[in-house]
Amino acid sequence: MHRLSPIVLALSVLTTLPALAEKGGSPKEAPLAEDSFYSLETKTLEGKPARLGDYSGKVSLVVNVASQCGFTPQYSGLEKLFGELKDKGFVILGFPSNDFGGQEPGSPAEIRDFCTKNYQVTFPLFEKVVTKAGDGQSPLYANLAKQSGELPKWNFSKYLVDKSGKVVKFYGSKVTPDDADLRKDIEAALGK
């Protein structure tokens, strides 16, 4: 039996790694479609760059959130849903927005403080965005609207996004996180 010397073995590994890196880092990783929600980038609530591609392979519920809305108590249900399903490949992505009734006037620090103290939110929160069509609309919401044909009409509207970044379904503000049909749709998307 012919054995490779440790030096030859190490060199073969080192020459293979750059080729893997050029192809996306992993031979299993499929490239995202150009119109995939996960192909976009944004910023965290604290202003750090964030790649939505980090959530590729997970099922996401994208929600436009606000701290001073009649629907704000949905934060509790969202956090509960996230806690129950996060280990199964599910995530909630919260995007604060001041579009409806000026109900999210806070700074990033105020939003984080509010969400932590009042609802113990642990799911990812991102920078404040404009959801409405027109000047200043977030590319994220332009993408969601293009895929679903829907834009939020108020705070706490929800988009269910599959593992590849395609919108499965849109839900209005009145659909709560414990809604049986929403839960069934999430479970179905996770099962794919």
**Known catalytic residues?**
118
The Cα-based distances of 141 to 3, 14, 81, 115, 159 in angstroms read 56, 42, 23, 22, 10
The Cα-based distances of 81 to 14, 35, 96, 169 in angstroms read 43, 27, 19, 17
| Residue 146 CB contacts under 8 Å (≥ 6 apart), including other chains | 35
Phi, psi of 55, rounded to the nearest 5 degrees: -100, 0
123 secondary structure, DSSP code = S
32 secondary structure, DSSP code = P
Nearest to 152 by CA among 166, 172, 123, 127: 172
The answer to whether 191 touches 162, Cβ cutoff 8 Å, is no
CA distance 15 to 66: 50
